[in-house]
Chains A and B, each alone.
Chain A
Amino acid sequence: MKIISQTNRTLLLEEFNPEKLDLLTMIGDVRGIDSLSDDKIKEINEALLCRSYEEFQEKFAPCIYSFYDANTQTVRYTLKKPESIPENMLTVIPLNQQNDFLKMLFSLMESKKSQGVLNVDFGFEHLLDMISPKKVMEDIRQVRKEIRYNYSKYAALEEGDPARLDVGDKLNVLFESASDNYNNVLAMLPLAIEDIKTRLLLGAGDQGINPNQIALGMLTMGDNGELKVLEAPKQETTALATIDDHINTGLIEALAEDYQQVNECPTDYVKDLVVRTFCPLPSTIQTQIDVEREVANYNSYLQFYKEAKDGFIKVVKPLVEKMLGVRMFFDQYKCRVKGMVPTLLVANIRPEMLAKSTNLPTLHAYLNSTNGKNNFSDTVWYAIFPNVSINPKEGAKLRRERFAGNIHKQNEDVNSMETLATLLDVLKDYKVETFFSFEGRDDTTFDNVAAEGVQKYIDRCEPLVGRPYSEYAIPCIPNFTVIPKNKSGVTLDKLMTINDDNVAQLSDAKEDIMRLWIEGVYIGASYVAAGFRAACQCPDYLHDHYRRKKFDSELPGVRYDVESGDHALWTRTTMPKEITGFTNTIKDQINRRNFGWVFASENAALDGKNITEITIYKARNLLYDPERATYEPAYKTQVTTYIERILRHATGDFKEDRIKMFFSNNPASQKSQWVAKQDCINAVLDEGDDLDYSIDESTGLCDLTIYFDGNARNLEVEINRLSSKKS
């Protein structure tokens, strides 16, 4: 790949963190200029270009802001930094691998992938409770075990022993991660909830015994020889027996001191909570328990936690879905030898901002700089435009709402078709193929396509057909489901009550179960489609999947037709199957016109092994061929673009004599070289393909005809007349 080193740079038209730099801001004022300097492009790449999900996470650090509303006594979340709220009243919650919601989703996806079961059989609830206080506490237990272990080692070693310093370093790291919670009351809530539970419901859980039955006693024989458990003399408090040792005492002191120093306004209650949380229970200092107060606290904590979590998930879900999309974009490139790694240029701006008249010249200037030169290292080949609105059915019959039903309100956070059309009009000028997908809801999933078919997508895409940009628009369906709407309930815990014996117990009443609904998490199909296509551009990726076929390390996979033969089975997405498949009727409907970039969750086997991943069923753009009543395969557009770019480069901007050389039968000519590699899996000219050209001297146009397995695709290029200007 001497001339074109990459054919898979992808521009992601989405916003992740408004506080970080975005494409428009970085480009700046473009009045009076057509393109940007090399320095500027380099600067943009440094800030916005990602080669992996981790790099994306680091560069954009997606986060959510929270603040407390004293009027409603609630916590509020927002994705956009509220300008009117002072910094010290705002809490920034980074959405990284440590975030429990994101961590839960990643685990869920990994688990589903490894199990290879369909949505219907997958136990979502087992993973969803990862965000419940119980699971949060489990993680903390692990931390506290490590703290205790290390502290014991630290205490045992002599002062001045180098090994002691090493352990000290480890302890510092552990204390640092523990102290993240001190200053954040919300983060302390699951700890407090679990702490109260542990103290009040001692003994419950493992054997499923109701805590109200517990009264410590002794096993004795009665006067008549019967066995009896006699209640031990009751103590004044429920303070726990302490088996203290100097290690725990030291640890308690260290934690208490750390809390006092880190926290701006320390309270004794929280101090005790921190100490109890991070020190093993038996060794905690004795504390008086006011059961009534603790139960009330527990209930209010749990209520507050549920509401906060609910609010958090509602706000963060769209952002998390986008982040999952980015992760899945990179995830498609599973390859032993990393060659042409897909790169993602994140615009970090809302597409509707980019599509404004005031900003389009800026986008033009950028794309002109990357795509309008004979240097192809920064060329953008694809774009991802997710979250296009799919209108709810109009004219649906209005019914009286006898029961609470779904509110069919228009999602305001979606991208409009008009924005897409505007951007397509710009992107097509620079031959950027745009993968777009519809908003993630339960009516754009595999389930829905299996039930309703693809007609609504065909109708929705109708305005984009028959336009100059149609061949650059690739509609991707259906969206992927991470958590289905009907299985998105998370049980956090149960409220607590006090029985007649003044003993706390968990309530079994249905209304006392604290449950929240995530309402489905989806990944836009465009991320996966673009990621898959970008992966297929890498010759090493194709070589990895076709060990027995010839490949050429110099050629990108622009001509790789995933629809052809059993290619769809050899190269698959990394997404796990979701449903049992589409019915034959639905597949007929898709095949009738070969619409869109369609993923399939079909039963298939390759070399005797069942395929458990989603495959590609159709890979078409919106260029409609009325003669054959079919949409054109997406690869043809990229091959045409690739050939044009190589031709422009090799012929010194279309010089006539060099065009003739390019197509000549000379073995050194570019065409001959391509023809010689026709049997490679990543051939630019596949078997049955051909290239032809004719030059119209009167108009100065060179008409290229590229035959894809006999079907002609024309490309007009203007011959270089720089050297023959007429006065």
Chain B
Amino acid sequence: MLMVCLQTQASAVNLPPGTSKAVVFLLDASNSMNSNDREGLAKDSIAQLIYSLPSDFYVGFAAYNNVVSTVGMKDSHDRESVMQAVDAATYTGYTNAGAGLTTAIELLDTVDAAEKTVVILSDGEIIMDSATATAESSNRFQTAVETARAQGIRIHVIGLGADMADEDNAIFSASAQTGGVSYHAPQAADIQNVIDSILLEQLGVKKNRAAIIDTDGGTEELTVTIPSVNTSRVRILLTSESPIQNLKADFNAADGRQYSGSRYTLLELDHPTDPTVHITFQGRAGGQVKVDVMTEYVLTAQISVAYTDTEPELPDAAYYTRTADVSVTFYDAGDSDRQMLTDSVFQGLSVPITVDGESIPCFFKDGTVAFQRTVTADVMQSVQLDLTKLDTNLILEQPIAMNLEGPPPLPVLPEPAPVDLRPQIIVGALLLLALVSVIIIWLASRRKKAVDGAAPPAAQEEKASRYGYVGRLNLYITSTPSGHDFPPLTYNLFRIPGGKKLSLQEILDSCNVDEPFEGAGKIFFQPAAGRCLLLTNESDCTLMQNREILMKGRSYQISLNSKVDITFEDERSEIALQYRDVKPSDMRLLAGEPR
């Protein structure tokens, strides 16, 4: 067996070349923003976005009013200068979006990046001091949009305020023409939600919600566990609708920084050595702080190839049949001795690999992704790993070049006597036929299973929670289309073993409620930390708690002794759910009762 090692080299200090992405934030700094963004939340949101971006992003910033002020594309080490430019922007003058977008495109031209994006934040149409100037700016804007489209630059637009409620305006058209997305934030406070959406959906940034903390005005303590060790960088983002004060963090890492705005605080830790970060902070009484963790790995990939040569079955073959066992291992871009992605969280995760256009399903095993290739001659192939399915930010230069050596020639032997191979061929053909039949049957059965199991996809995918259920649910059916009066129902959650995910429909079924409640099958419960219940709404029902609508597709922590009101999809059936504690002594009492 022959082992050959190939290693891709990182050209930058930490950042592999060709991995970069570039974003330019284009801020409308016209006078009208003074009324739409009195508290400067737009700048705050841009700052939060800039700091939250992984290290492979070049960031630029431009602000336009009568003139355009700009700061060039900066890598992750120099984001402070971008932030200074953001802070320096003042809301005054007209809205020369044409000049602004042209400058943004020009900024993007200065870097070599795989993905280029412009995020425009504006509160109105292009307006200059004269009709001519307005028309000129509009033309420039349109030209810049066309240039962007030609260069594959995507433009996302955040429309702020009432003037941007109309989706047909010129600024929004930029996103439509370049494959970007338009967002509308009626008020500056709504930009936060848009920022989340752009980060997750458009820029592909991976983040995990670590906690939602209801603040009471006192000092809150929080321990964040980083899901895997050996990360290159971890960003812990705390966002709130009110300032987060007196934040102190206790961590072990090579370096750490803290960035704070009026509604966010971001902790950036380089190479943390301890998976737990202890944070204390002070929030406003009655507020809520969301804590997100973004892990980032800056990697180099090392490909190891082991060859296995076998004698070919064909009599006239001149070369051995060579199989290459290829394994890809990952190392820290800054320290080639430090192997990465070896944590158990990666074990078994899917990493599809494309080799010269051919897709191969692969999985992580002990920090390595392995696959096989048959080699017939010396060849250079490109390997592309699809890392998008992992919920961490991985920066890796791709594609990776893989050199495979061809098989050695067979030794030249004296001409053998002709052998009659027909029986072997017949047997081989029969075996092949049997194998094909088995494969067809297997595939058919697999498809059937997939169809059978498609009914509750969410439930199937969902893993059991690591917490156990406590308490009980009181269900009060307050309205039904039939007008039937139901007695109050109680569902003893504490008797449910493990962290099994439950749908509301299952709960109603076990309470023998035969009335249909549309959407109940798509409202799920799971136990969560702090004796809470995690409620996930996948339905179109209206869920309300404390005058707040619980959004579809989101999960919410329901604390003990709180109530959720549900109006079902038929808009007539209503249930009030109460999540209540059960004392240990009562559990014993209730143990003998039917659920």
Contact = CB atoms under 8 A, between A and B. Distances in A.
Contacts of B225: 727
A483 to B, nearest CB: 38
A726 B220 CA distance: 11
Contacts of A714: 585
Contacts of A361: 476, 478, 563, 565, 576, 578
Interface string A451-468: 000000000000000111
Which has the most chain B C-beta neighbours within 10 Å: A30, A31, A357, A418?
Answer: A357
Contact of A357 (B485, B531, B563, B590): B485
A356 B478 CA distance: 9
Contact of B476 (A358, A418, A429, A726): A358
A425 B567 CA distance: 25
Given A357-B478, A361-B476, A32 B565 contact: yes
Interface string A364-401: 11001000100000000000000000000000000000
Contact of B478 (A358, A365, A468, A727): A358
A365 B216 CA distance: 22
B488 A364 contact: no
A358 B490 CA distance: 15
Interface stretch (B103-111, B340-348, B411-419, B540-548): B540-548
B546 A32 contact: yes
Interface in B189-237: 210-211, 213, 216, 218-225
B578 A725 contact: no
Main secondary structure of the interface of B (DSSP, over half): strand
A33 B476 contact: no
Interface in B107-135: none
Contacts of B561: 368, 372
B488 A357 contact: yes
A422 B216 contact: no
Interface string B12-47: 000000000000000000000000000000000000
A135 B476 CA distance: 54
A422 B487 contact: yes
B223 A726 contact: yes
A360 B219 contact: no
A33 B563 CA distance: 8
Given A32-B546, A467-B589, A725 B583 contact: no
Given A357-B485, A723-B220, A725-B221, A32 B213 contact: no
Contact of A723 (B221, B224, B576): B221
Which has the most chain B C-beta neighbours within 10 Å: A722, A725, A727?
Answer: A727
27 contacts: A32-B544, A32-B548, A357-B476, A357-B486, A357-B487, A358-B476, A358-B477, A360-B488, A360-B576, A361-B563, A364-B563, A372-B561, A418-B487, A425-B488, A425-B490, A468-B582, A468-B590, A716-B583, A718-B581, A721-B530, A723-B219, A723-B220, A725-B220, A726-B529, A727-B210, A727-B224, A727-B225
A724 interface: yes
A361 B487 CA distance: 12
A34 B547 CA distance: 9
A727 B565 contact: no
- For the complex of A and B, list the 9 residue pairs with the smallest distance between their C-beta atoms, beginning with the closest: A32-B544, A361-B576, A468-B586, A727-B210, A358-B478, A31-B565, A357-B476, A727-B211, A727-B224
Given A357-B486, A360-B476, A727-B211, A722 B544 contact: no
A723 B224 CA distance: 14
B585 A33 contact: no
Given A357-B488, A468-B586, 6 more contacts: A372-B561, A722-B216, A722-B218, A725-B211, A725-B221, A727-B223
B460 interface: no
B580 A429 contact: yes
Interface of A: 30-34, 356-358, 360-361, 364-365, 368, 372, 418, 422, 425, 429, 466-468, 714, 716, 718, 721-727
B580 A722 contact: no
A262 B479 CA distance: 51
B544 to A, nearest CB: 3
Contacts of A32: 544-548, 565
Contacts of A725: 211, 213, 220-222, 529-530
A392 to B, nearest CB: 25
Contacts of A723: 218-221
A726 B279 CA distance: 11
B589 A34 contact: no
Contact of A727 (B291, B486, B531): B291
B415 to A, nearest CB: 74
A179 to B, nearest CB: 49
Which has the most chain B C-beta neighbours within 10 Å: A372, A468, A721?
Answer: A468
Contacts of B544: 31-32
B409 interface: no
B584 interface: yes
Nearest to A714: B585
B562 interface: yes
A361 B474 CA distance: 10
Contacts of A721: 530
Contacts of A357: 476-478, 485-488
Contact of A358 (B479, B563, B567): B479
Nearest to B586: A468
Interface in B551-595: 561-563, 565, 567, 574, 576, 578, 580-586, 589-590
A361 B585 CA distance: 25
A422 B488 CA distance: 8
B424 to A, nearest CB: 64
Contacts of B581: 718
Contacts of B216: 722
B106 to A, nearest CB: 43
Contacts of A34: 546, 562-563
B12 to A, nearest CB: 33
Interface in B479-511: 479, 485-488, 490
A242 B301 CA distance: 131
Contacts of A33: 546-547
B466 to A, nearest CB: 11
A500 B544 CA distance: 86
A364 B213 contact: no
B589 A468 contact: yes
B220 A722 contact: yes
B132 to A, nearest CB: 54
Nearest to B214: A722
Contacts of B221: 723-725
A34 B582 CA distance: 19
Which has the most chain B C-beta neighbours within 10 Å: A32, A356, A466?
Answer: A32
B476 A716 contact: no
Contacts of A365: 563
B547 A356 contact: no
A338 B135 CA distance: 84
A528 B583 CA distance: 32
A114 to B, nearest CB: 48
A368 B561 CA distance: 9
B485 A726 contact: no
B286 to A, nearest CB: 13
A240 B557 CA distance: 91
Nearest to A655: B218
A315 B380 CA distance: 102
